Amino acid sequence: MTTGFFTDSTLCIGCKACEVACKEWNDIPADPFVFSGLSYDNTLGLGHSTWRHVKFIEQEATIGAGGNAAGRITWQFSSDVCKHCENAGCLEACPTGSIVRTEFGGVYVQPDICNGCGYCVVTCPFGVVDRRPDDGRAFKCTFCYDRQIAGEQPACAKACPTGSILFGDLDELEKIADRRIATLHGAGMTDATIYNPKETSVGGTHAFFLVRGDPWAYNLPPKPEVPTTLLRPAWTAAALAAGAMAVVSLLAFAGGGRR
Amino acid sequence: MRPRRPDAASERRLEELRREAESRGEVGAPGVRPSGSPLPEASAGSGYYGLPLLKPPVWTWEVPLYFFTGGAAGGAACIAFAARVTGAPERLVRDAQWVAAIGGAVSGPLLIADLGRPERFLNMLRVFKWQSPMSVGAWLLLSFGVAASAAVATRGAPRDLASGVAALAGLGMATYSGVLLGATALPVWSKHASILPPHFAASALGSAASILELLGHRGRALHKLALVAAASETVLHSLLQVSATTRLAGAFSGPIPLLLRALYGRSRRARTAAAASALLGSLLTRFAWVEAGRGSVASPPRPLRGDAARSGDAVR
């Protein structure tokens, strides 16, 4: 079965239970104390020691659902996670075969294989994977592979008190998301939209989101591309350059190399 | 700000603010965010508080230095083979093969040192993946290292075979690092995915010819090769407006050696200066590109290629 995460930002209350549950279950090192000054978000982003990250989107007031009074800011929350791309840049780029696709469709870094080359870090179009300095290996959300094998749902989904993080069969989740969008649009929240970049080279994600307004405000890139699409032009250029190098070298020596 | 005199209007305004604060508990005005949020907004324009979406490369100095040594070694193997088959002096062939072998021998440890888990470097050889330039590069480096060492360690037919394999792998070594940087998610690298391989190839050939010149080989062929490399670098760098450091590196590897060689090609000292300049430029180029990648994560607000998003342009 291909499993997925459907994270509904309109149901998120910003409690960070998912962050805590993820850290506890996966035994991830603590983060240093940081006061960012950016809303209530002192986690700031996904990384080697943060596999769930609750964003606090502060914006000018928008009238509508959410209970915001006029003149006050609106506050939306959204729990971010590795997108588990259909065409995953990190997986393609991994030279050791450490990063694999699991039987549940998730993208998983095998910690006993990774040698910390760091190539996945620069090939993830969502900036999710990172190398942990004191450990040397790359880390990201495992989609709670261990829990899924045991028939359990991932720690974040289980700890979520509002159903903002739903885990289950990917196709089922997409149907749930469609119904949710219809409900929200019917209630007047017409800026609610699904973020799942299916029409890009990423080919959709197994963790997808319901957000309000422009996904970019959530640091969700509107048109992410998997870097493997660049292989053909880059290797073509490399082959031409190598051919030119060989020809130029031979010509240079053929035309009077001894002097 | 100039000193002001209080007047009726200014005092009326201050009274007004006090009344508003008394009645509402807070004061709003253009340019002043409501109380509780004196903060930048998460918006379609700035993204999530302007925080970079992508992660910077974790590579340290070993990797750009490896691009330099690996490229120069690959170029030297190519020169050695070309010199061999055209019957150039044996001493030049031999020295070029030594440069290739030493460059290859230095490159491996540099790459291993940069790994987060150096003791696991052999895991690179568990699989071969065409779709991973890093994997292709690991196998290229291995075959290059073996062949380049064999070329200096053997005689006769085995040496010729090893020299040929080293030259082939060397062409790969000189160009693949451009693919390695280009086929990533980082804006400044991926934008130049088709230009980086020829750029690095020219850099590699120029530095290999320069090293051999500095070792005392003064043949016309090396001069011509270095001239072509400098000319290519001049053209490529004029197409690239990346950072101040890449422009500086471009000057050292492009116009400076090009002019020195074109105008004073008969002068020994000018050619030595040109060779030194090209080497410095090549080394600097590799560091400049890695650094530019690091910088490109933070600088543009919308860092992704193909990202021509309008407001609310979510893709389903």
Q: How many CA atoms lie within 13 A of B236 on its CB side?
A: 25
- The pTM of the full predicted model, rounded to 2 decimals, is 0.89
pLDDT for the residue numbered A69: 59
Determine the length of chain A.
259
pLDDT for the residue numbered B309: 37
**Tell me, what amino acid is at A44?**
L
pLDDT for the residue numbered A68: 54
Taking residues A120-142, report their average pLDDT: 96
Chain A partners within 8 Å of B115 (Cβ):
115-117, 136
Nearest to B202 by CA among B66, B78, B61, B62: B78
The pair of three-digit structure tokens given for residue A11, joined into one six-digit string: 């149901």
Sort residue A66 into left (φ over 0), alpha (ψ -120 to 50) or beta: left
pLDDT for the residue numbered A90: 97
CB atoms within 10 A of CB B295: 17
Minimal CA separation from A111 to chain B, in Å = 11
The pair of three-digit structure tokens given for residue B95, joined into one six-digit string: 């020295």
Chain A, 101 to 160: residues with Cβ < 8 Å from chain B are: 113-119, 121-132, 135-138
Whether residues B39 and A37 touch (CB distance < 8 A) is answered with: yes
**Element containing residue B141 per DSSP (H, E):** helix B133-153
CB atoms within 10 A of CB A179: 10
Q: Where are the alpha helices (DSSP H) in A140-255?
A: 145-149, 155-159, 170-186, 231-254
pLDDT for the residue numbered B28: 67
Identify the sign of the CA torsion A240, A241, A245, A251: positive
Chain A partners within 8 Å of B220 (Cβ):
256-257, 259
Nearest residue, CB atoms, A233 vs list B53, B193, B311: B193
Q: What averages of pLDDT result for each successive group of 10 residues across chain B (316 residues)? A: 86 90 73 52 78 93 97 98 93 96 97 96 96 97 97 90 97 98 95 96 97 94 96 93 90 95 91 96 96 80 43 33
Residue A64 above 60 pLDDT?
no
Count interface pairs A-B at CB distance under 8 A. 320
Rg (CA), chain A: 22
A55 within 8 A of A19, measured Cβ to Cβ:
no
Sort residue B49 into left (φ over 0), alpha (ψ -120 to 50) or beta: left
CA geometry: angle B225, B230, B232, nearest 5 deg:
95
In angstroms, the CA A147 to CA B36 distance is 40
**Element containing residue B298 per DSSP (H, E):** helix B268-298
CA geometry: angle B231, B289, B104, nearest 5 deg:
80
> Which carries the bigger pLDDT value, residue B42 or residue A135?
A135
| CA end-to-end distance (rounded Å), chain B | 52
Q: Which residue in B has a C-alpha nearest to residue A240's C-alpha?
A: B198
Please state, rounded to an integer, the average pLDDT across all residues of chain A. Answer: 92
Q: Is B216 on the interface with A (CB under 8 A)?
A: no
pLDDT for the residue numbered B25: 74
In angstroms, the CA B138 to CA B122 distance is 10
Q: In what order do the strands lie in the sheet with A207-212?
A: A165-169, A3-8, A207-212, A192-195
> Which carries the bigger pLDDT value, residue B41 or residue A50?
A50
Chain B partners within 8 Å of A124 (Cβ):
54-55, 185
Residue A122 above 80 pLDDT?
yes
> Which carries the bigger pLDDT value, residue B6 or residue A82?
A82
In angstroms, the CA A135 to CA B158 distance is 44
Minimal CA separation from A64 to chain B, in Å = 17
pLDDT for the residue numbered B261: 94
B29 within 8 A of B14, measured Cβ to Cβ:
no
Minimal CA separation from B91 to chain A, in Å = 11
pLDDT for the residue numbered A140: 98
Rg (CA), chain B: 28
Write out pLDDT tens, residues B154-182. Answer: 888 889 999 999 999 999 999 999 999 99
